[in-house]
Structure 1
Amino acid sequence: MKNRILALLLLISFTAFGQVDRSAPPKPGPAPQIRIADYESFTLDNGLKVFVVTNSKLPTVAFNLIIDSDPVLEKDLAGYVGMTGRLLRTGTKTRTKEQIDQEVDKIGGTLGTSSSSVFSSSLKKHMNKLLELMSDVVINAEFRDAEVEKARKQILSNLISSKDEPDEIAERVRRKLFYGEGHPYAEFETEASVKKITRQDCEKYYQTYFKPNISYLSIVGDITLDEAKKAAQRYFGDWKKGEVPKHTYKQPKAPLLTKVAIVDRDNAVQTSINIGHPVEISLSSPDVINARVMNTILGGGAFRLFENLREKRGFTYGAYSQLAPNQLTGYFAASADVRNEVTDSAVTEFLYEMKRIRTEPVGENELQKAKNYITGSFAISMESPQTVASFAVNTAKYNLPRDFYSNYLVKVNSLTADDIRDAANKYVLPEKSYIILVGKAEDIASKVKKFSSLKIEYYDDFANPVDPNAKAVPEGVSAASVISKYIESIGGKEKLMNVKDRKTTMSASVQGFDVTAVLLQKAPNKMLQRISVGGMEQVMLFDGKNGVNKSPMGEEVLEGENLEQMAFEADMLAITKLDELGIKATLTGVEKIDDKDAYKIEFVLPSGGKFHHYYEKESGLKLREQRTLSTPQGTFTQTTNFSDYREVNGMKYPYKLVQSVVGMNIEMTVSNIEINTGLGDDLFK
């Protein structure tokens, strides 16, 4: 059950994946002539800056409020700023969340909040009601303990679902390395930090930073300037201005020498590569447009990195780069996911392309292709009136020239190969980069050490430095002793042997689908599992000798390693008779699982197939299982985490199972476990 619960969900995932159009984009046409609609602006007495874009094509209006505060250090409360944004929508001094929802639904409107913005929209005829609700949320927000706990639960659930994803791990390490301790961009939410957040923390942030004198309000739609002035004054004129703290931080710098950082995922078959460094670039930088065109050529949709690593060499499904301007500090990063065996080759090609764009002039055709690509994207964005409003806000927020956007394409089309090379030499630093690799260290470390004269640095999943040699097993501890302690921790061998049959019922919600699963097991080694999701059902059956997997994709008779794995899962006493089953168990080390020391045991099936279990050093309970899945779509690592152990008939069972595979996560919650109910043999035929 625990190793196969995602099989049907993989079907959903790959079905959706197959519907994505991954064909090459059409050839770009000539750059169109674009006229940007004008906007008007005014400022209320409390300092709120308002920008109005009139568009009467539809009888609708939209309002977007931006709070322009400096990032703050959240320290051991990382996540409280984001939680504040969630809570804004959950109640005011006069309305509960339910009342807000009902009133917004009644007018067919939208109302969304974040830690730095509030957005709303509706038909023009409902504008006053919409603004009444929006201003109430902005000015009179009230944080309730019950809503804080709901938000906390949602955030923790998201963290649990994503914390083992290689891309998320790489992002955490990237932020810590790029920005360093003491910088707000180096912070990220953890389960520990979210659990510490209080209602008072969120209230204090709201009361300190939600002020009109650092805010911008854009109004877009079927509205005149006069109407906008009256509405802004009526609903936001009484919003009290106040002094807002300013924060400054040390500008992060690229490393003096390239550094290689590895997060060891010892069961991974792929490596997540992220190569980059911080850069000092903002929207107000004089060469920001040059830099964007340069990065498009290097790592845009179907440009150099994509062409080299995917089309030419087949290392990955996609390789891209990003040059992100930011008023505090920007960054450059290039990334891809590749097979372990080509990790060093892929890094070589990344660095080659990063060096090439700095040294070789860009060809005329390639430069024009990038210009046309950006011009087309710009033209499409102009179809939305909200784009014009964002241009107006950005012009004021970043102190840009009034004609910055109206001359944007003129600037793009005037760039030369020398401009591109100059931007590359300033913002792309292949010899002063962090090479961050999330993958199997055993397979990749020896091959990638050539990229730096410095020693490879190792980090855990949450960007904490680790010693790769500090995983020694204490003297006297063996696989047998760890397994023995596990058996005792769940109730003991005698009680385990008294379990003649077991029925486990579980449920979850994933990608909008309700998932239900029922697992039946009967001694000595029979198993039936039914998973229902989105109107589809998967049945996995082991009758003690033969195994079959039935799904909407057809019926598969299990053989070899897959059959051995199912037989192991079906036998509730398998862990007590490994020698009899021909399974070898080896204690390979000690690793951290959610800040807990865990013994890692490698199991080898008679066919040679391997899987791993992790047992908590202190309690003996099993915390994690890992195995490799071989499917028609490729080979993937599947991880299952176990927690919330509860006692049933004197035995302990996990009531929460969190699985991760191919970037998809699912949290299964056990609702019921029934022991020795007399399951009949006919159920397993």
Structure 2
Amino acid sequence: MKLRLIYLMLFALIGTTAVAQVDRTEAPEPAEPKEINIAKPYTFELKNGLKVYVVENHKLPRVAFSLSLDRDPILEGDKAGYVSFAGQLMMRGTESRTKAQLDEEIDFIGANLSAFSTGMFGSSLTKHKDKLLDLMTDVLYNPAFPEEELEKLKKQTLSGLAASKDDPNSIASDVRGVLNYSLDHPYGEFTTEESVENITLEDCKKYYQTYFKPNIAYLAIVGDITPKEAKKLIKSKFSSWEANEVPSFEYETPKAPEETYVALVDREASVQSVINVTYPVELEIGDADVIKARVLNQILGGGFSSRLMQNLREDKAYTYGARSSLSSDELIGNFTASASVRNEVTDSAITEFMAELIKIKEEGVTQKELDAAKASIIGSFARSLESPQTVASFAINTAKYNLPEDYYTNYLKNVNAVTLEDVKAMAQKYIKPGHANILVVGKGADIAASLGKFGEVKYFDRYGVQYDPNDRVKIPEGITAQNIIDKYVEAIGGKEALEGVINIKTVYEASVQGQKLTLTSVKNNKASKQAITMMGMNFMSTVYDGSDVKITQQGQNVPVGEEDKKDLPIDAQVTPELNYDKLGVTIELAGAQNINGKTAYGVKVTMPSGKTSTQYFDAESGLKVKSVVTNEGPNGQSMTSTTEIKSYKEVDGIKVPEKMNINQGFPMTAELKSAEVNADLDEDTFKIK
């Protein structure tokens, strides 16, 4: 007992002493950053021009090889995407190994190997380095470029483009590039469905044959290897690589706009606005301003404690996240501040963005903000050194961009040396609230009227092409919602033929994140059944027998609200458009849109439950081309699903959708596998069990 009391007295004494010695109301002064010990690479050059950098690190028995091509950015034009395809195809098989064999040999030694349009990367245990380089050089020297692999790559890319075509963040990314750089600049163009279709195998082969040359290549080797071993190994594996002249290009330097304006991409289905305040900046890699500019951006919008995040998220609750970036580049950098916000606060959010830009430009920052930003950057930099790719990139960048040899060794010292005056000077030089593209992807009907206060409002389509909303798409006099529906009925087979359809069964196949889905639908004008199966298992099903309904999801019953039940008789119709008036469905004109280069008329459809959708019909053919449905989601949030019908197929005299791009929170492309009209259905088809 006495011993316990002694311990308690000692702890109390120690605690009292500690409190007396430390002022806990003040944060401790940050320690001076230590010099980062990045080993100086051993360098040599082969006769073919390949420049090699070896960084020894024997902590782990692993070695990594990073090959980088120093070529100018390429303007791909109407074949945008072929450069990326060329790099990806290199890993799809060689003259002596199929893709499967190549993958198997890489896996067998536990290695990583990848190729891309500007180089290659491989890593393995040290004992497998010879085998790794055998595989790496086989890919480098002997890519087979199989035609069937190009077709697979095209199909995968087209599927991804179809899914992202209506994604607001993808739209913002593409249009931002056009605004900042223009379509005549490599940084402004982007891959489209049309450009993918234009790509040939010869395009990819020609790129590889032109640019994969040792005289523009850098090879960084990092890990458990000595310079002597590396030199012997590289000479034996890469000396036969033949050099050749590589073309170079020059491009006009993009400029920030003369005055700030609003670029609105009108996305009718949006319940949120994606905001980008953006413009190009002339800031080259290795410039003396780069580190100071990074500190500036860290304070403005580089992390959770940044001004933009604290203002728009924590204070105003406009968004989950608001960030900014200020990047350097060999050609042209850019500044972008971005967030996704609710429609009703779009203008308020932009007001706060612009206020923060003006404030940091005119007033500078505080010492507390500066210290916190430095600490964050220093920590991030130190953690990045754990990756061999990072160390390799340091070696290559130093040579590629003619950086001082101690650029990365002194990086933390240079970060710590940034002053309040430096940050303010960077803000005044690179923050340009009066010369910005304010890009907004959102619902024009809800937000356009409030955006004029920030500058002229200009309309752009999904591809970054400017248009006049008053002239672009007009609905001729005399066109009504009923006219449009009648034309659609005629286009898919005619009233008489459709009225003769007793039932219809369709089966579609789709793929979501590599998983194949089967979507089956059966309707007979009184009852309906829909099922989604995955790998033979029932994922979700809905059965309506004409009076009652049962929905199951992964074996669990899903409750159905009384309001939702009101719409079931309409969903059971083979062609509900034939009898909208009798079914209690109301329709009205909803403007027009340009969809895939063609005019489409919109019809707003209101169901008995009060739920609405907008259906778009091709003005020329009358066929339905798009459907946009907005439903109430969890926590009162709105959820929008979009279906774009790409083609139709005629079945027994009526047309049914053949290929559809569907986005219901996750994108997929559904293709028709079978369709039966007036099928001999089992009597238990619509039975609720």
Task: Give TM-score scaled by structure 1 length.
Answer: 0.91
Contact kept, 8 Å, 1:28 with 1:369, in 2: the verdict is no
Contact kept, 8 Å, 1:540 with 1:550, in 2: the verdict is yes
Contact kept, 8 Å, 1:87 with 1:143, in 2: the verdict is yes
- Residue deviations 1:169-194 (CA, integer Å, cap 9, x gap): 11111111101242111111111111
- Point out the more displaced range, 535-544 or 278-287: 535-544
CA distance in 2, matches of 1:234, 1:276: 49
CA distance in 2, matches of 1:30, 1:594: 59
CA distance in 1, matches of 2:29, 2:251: 42
Identity of aligned residues (%): 46
In the TM superposition, residue 394 of structure 1 has moved relative to its aligned partner by 0.8
Contact kept, 8 Å, 1:274 with 1:437, in 2: the verdict is yes
One-letter code aligned to 2:132: L
One-letter code aligned to 1:443: D
Residues 1:332 and 2:335 aligned together: yes
- Point out the more displaced range, 505-514 or 134-143: 505-514
CA distance in 1, matches of 2:560, 2:686: 19
Aligned position for 1:154: 156
CA distance in 1, matches of 2:578, 2:533: 28
3-state SS in 2 of match to 1:184: coil
Residues 1:395 and 2:401 aligned together: no
Aligned position for 1:45: 47
Residues 1:97 and 2:99 aligned together: yes
In the TM superposition, residue 512 of structure 1 has moved relative to its aligned partner by 4.3
Aligned position for 2:462: 461
3-state SS in 2 of match to 1:482: helix
Contact kept, 8 Å, 1:279 with 1:427, in 2: the verdict is yes
Aligned position for 1:17: none
- Residue deviations 1:512-539 (CA, integer Å, cap 9, x gap): 4443333232322433434548977333
Aligned position for 2:204: 202
Aligned position for 2:61: 59
In the TM superposition, residue 451 of structure 1 has moved relative to its aligned partner by 0.3
One-letter code aligned to 1:377: S
- 170, 175, 178: which one pairs with 1:176? 178
Judged with a 3 Å threshold, the aligned counterparts in structure 2 of structure 1 residues 323 and 233 are, in CA distance, closer, same or farther, namely same
- 349, 368, 376: which one pairs with 2:371? 368
Contact kept, 8 Å, 1:561 with 1:605, in 2: the verdict is no
- Residue deviations 1:447-491 (CA, integer Å, cap 9, x gap): 011101x3x111111111122113211334332222222222222
Task: Give TM-score scaled by structure 2 length.
Answer: 0.91
One-letter code aligned to 1:463: G
Residues 1:648 and 2:655 aligned together: no
3-state SS in 1 of match to 2:319: coil
Structure 1 stretches of 4+ with a deviation exceeding 6 A read 533-536
- Point out the more displaced range, 524-533 or 172-181: 524-533
- Point out the more displaced range, 635-644 or 158-167: 635-644
CA distance in 2, matches of 1:569, 1:32: 67
Judged with a 3 Å threshold, the aligned counterparts in structure 2 of structure 1 residues 386 and 318 are, in CA distance, closer, same or farther, namely same
CA distance in 1, matches of 2:583, 2:301: 52
CA distance in 2, matches of 1:219, 1:562: 63
One-letter code aligned to 1:107: I
In the TM superposition, residue 611 of structure 1 has moved relative to its aligned partner by 0.5
One-letter code aligned to 1:604: T
CA distance in 2, matches of 1:587, 1:291: 51
CA distance in 2, matches of 1:357, 1:48: 46
CA distance in 2, matches of 1:584, 1:618: 24
3-state SS in 2 of match to 1:374: helix
CA distance in 2, matches of 1:333, 1:157: 28
CA distance in 2, matches of 1:507, 1:198: 28
Aligned position for 2:540: 538
Aligned position for 1:576: 578
CA distance in 1, matches of 2:119, 2:600: 43
CA distance in 2, matches of 1:31, 1:502: 75
Residues 1:439 and 2:446 aligned together: no
CA distance in 1, matches of 2:671, 2:59: 49
In the TM superposition, residue 605 of structure 1 has moved relative to its aligned partner by 2.4
Alignment of 1:265-276 (within 5 A): 265-276=267-278
One-letter code aligned to 2:150: V
CA distance in 1, matches of 2:611, 2:152: 43
CA distance in 2, matches of 1:612, 1:682: 31
Unmatched 5+ residue regions in structure 2? Answer: 1-27
In the TM superposition, residue 143 of structure 1 has moved relative to its aligned partner by 2.4
- 118, 121, 125: which one pairs with 1:116? 118
CA distance in 2, matches of 1:52, 1:536: 55
- Point out the more displaced range, 620-629 or 671-680: 671-680
- Residue deviations 1:47-78 (CA, integer Å, cap 9, x gap): 11111122223322221111111011111111
Aligned position for 1:78: 80
CA distance in 1, matches of 2:613, 2:371: 52
- 320, 331, 338: which one pairs with 2:323? 320
Judged with a 3 Å threshold, the aligned counterparts in structure 2 of structure 1 residues 560 and 417 are, in CA distance, closer, same or farther, namely farther
3-state SS in 2 of match to 1:308: helix
3-state SS in 2 of match to 1:185: coil
Judged with a 3 Å threshold, the aligned counterparts in structure 2 of structure 1 residues 578 and 382 are, in CA distance, closer, same or farther, namely same
Aligned position for 1:6: none
In the TM superposition, residue 585 of structure 1 has moved relative to its aligned partner by 1.6
- Residue deviations 1:11-69 (CA, integer Å, cap 9, x gap): xxxxxxxxxxxxxxxx9986763422332221111111111122223322221111111
Contact kept, 8 Å, 2:327 with 2:334, in 1: the verdict is yes
CA distance in 1, matches of 2:613, 2:428: 47
3-state SS in 2 of match to 1:90: coil
Aligned position for 1:211: 213
Alignment of 1:276-315 (within 5 A): 276-302=278-304, 303-315=306-318
CA distance in 1, matches of 2:160, 2:228: 44
Aligned position for 2:355: 352
In the TM superposition, residue 418 of structure 1 has moved relative to its aligned partner by 1.2
Please tell me whether Structure 1 or Structure 2 has the larger radius of gyration of its CA atoms. 2
Aligned position for 1:12: none
- Point out the more displaced range, 220-229 or 536-545: 536-545
One-letter code aligned to 1:574: P
Aligned position for 1:342: 345
Contact kept, 8 Å, 1:520 with 1:529, in 2: the verdict is no
- 113, 136, 139: which one pairs with 1:137? 139
Aligned position for 1:562: 564
- 627, 640, 643: which one pairs with 1:637? 640
In the TM superposition, residue 126 of structure 1 has moved relative to its aligned partner by 2.2
One-letter code aligned to 2:399: A
Judged with a 3 Å threshold, the aligned counterparts in structure 2 of structure 1 residues 394 and 567 are, in CA distance, closer, same or farther, namely farther
CA distance in 2, matches of 1:301, 1:550: 42
In the TM superposition, residue 232 of structure 1 has moved relative to its aligned partner by 1.2
**RMSD value over aligned CA atoms?**
2.2
CA distance in 1, matches of 2:653, 2:627: 23
Aligned position for 1:405: 408
CA distance in 2, matches of 1:150, 1:201: 16
In the TM superposition, residue 222 of structure 1 has moved relative to its aligned partner by 1.7
CA distance in 2, matches of 1:553, 1:356: 56
CA distance in 1, matches of 2:454, 2:555: 45
- Residue deviations 1:222-243 (CA, integer Å, cap 9, x gap): 2111111112111111111111
Judged with a 3 Å threshold, the aligned counterparts in structure 2 of structure 1 residues 314 and 545 are, in CA distance, closer, same or farther, namely farther
3-state SS in 2 of match to 1:378: helix
CA distance in 1, matches of 2:185, 2:173: 15
CA distance in 2, matches of 1:580, 1:518: 27
Judged with a 3 Å threshold, the aligned counterparts in structure 2 of structure 1 residues 399 and 187 are, in CA distance, closer, same or farther, namely same
- 257, 260, 266: which one pairs with 1:258? 260
Contact kept, 8 Å, 1:514 with 1:534, in 2: the verdict is no
